[in-house]
Amino acid sequence: MNANPPILLNPDGRLPGVIAVDHAGRSVPPGLGELGLTPAWRDSHYFCDLGVAELARELAARIDVPIVLCDVSRLVIDVNRWVDDPRSIASALEGTPITANAALSPAEREARQEAVFWPYHKLLGAIWERQTARHPRPFLFALHSCTRIFQGQHRPWDGGTIWHDDDTLSRHLLDHLGKEDGLVLGDNQPYSGRNGVFSVDWHSYGSGLPACGFEVTNDLLETGPDRARWAGRLAGALTAAIDSGVAA
């Protein structure tokens, strides 16, 4: 199976950190078509994290750290789930079958892992290893976006941190971003990372290094000015983490 390779921005980034963007892409390997879905699904939050690829590029212009993006849709395989998780290759969306994902053989699942999952994590891991060799305390920051309403429930948060074993980076981000009036932030919201999230845990769990995910609600990423505003916020918060010694 051929698939778009992961994208690396700021490959020689000089600051102590790495940004991972697991769900940036909408591409689908040749032969899988639209996965059996109508084209309208490509514009949904199920296909990718809406606005996050553009946000990552805005961030790359504001903070000089390497940024690794997966360019393949999460519906082909979700690079932020363990490969033995049944949800790693979704079989349906809101009751709509994903026919290209139905009844996959072990060999077909492995082909997607080898074409998409492992190339992304090998690149992310290599960049993270390089940064940990260069810097005593780099940060790992996983950037995501989420929908405002999910399964009929309204999410009040404009942004939220996702963390598992160490909340050092999360606390810093919430403190820094919380200085802005009117911004509603969540700690381990809109979902908790305490049960584990693959990418951050796979690369940093138990290391003692500052790491967390961050979800921006995608209705705040719809326009260029929206994304520039969030890029400024996040670049400022991550730069402040370095300046304050949270990362080094």
Q: What is the pLDDT of residues 193-212, one digit of tens each?
A: 998 899 999 999 999 999 99
> Does residue 2 form part of some domain?
no
Q: What is the CATH number of the domain that holds 132?
A: 3.40.630.40
> Does residue 1 form part of some domain?
no
Quote the domain boundaries for residue 187.
7-243
> Does residue 182 form part of some domain?
yes
Q: Mind listing the pLDDT tens digit for each residue in 211-228?
A: 999 999 999 999 999 999
Q: Can you tell me the distance from the alpha carbon of 64 to that of 14, in angstroms, rounded to the nearest whole number?
A: 6
- What is the reported pLDDT for 149? 87
Annotate the chain with three-state secondary structure.
CCCCCCEEECCCCCCCEEEEECCCCCECCCCCCCCCCCHHHHHCCCCCCCCHHHHHHHHHCCCCCCEEECCECCCCCCCCCCCCCHHHCCCEECCEECHHHCCCCHHHHHHHHHHHHHHHHHHHHHHHHHHHHHCCCCEEEEEEEECCEECCEECCCCEEEECCCCCHHHHHHHHHHCCCCCCCEEECCCCCCCCCCHHHHHHHCCCCCCEEEEEEEHHHCCCHHHHHHHHHHHHHHHHHHHHCCCCC
Total of domains in the chain: 1
> Does residue 118 form part of some domain?
yes
Q: Can you tell me the distance from the alpha carbon of 142 to that of 199, in angstroms, rounded to the nearest whole number?
A: 8
Q: Mind listing the pLDDT tens digit for each residue in 123-153?
A: 999 999 999 999 999 999 999 999 998 878 8
Whole-prediction pTM value? 0.97
> Does residue 64 form part of some domain?
yes
> Does residue 69 form part of some domain?
yes
> Does residue 72 form part of some domain?
yes
> Does residue 14 form part of some domain?
yes
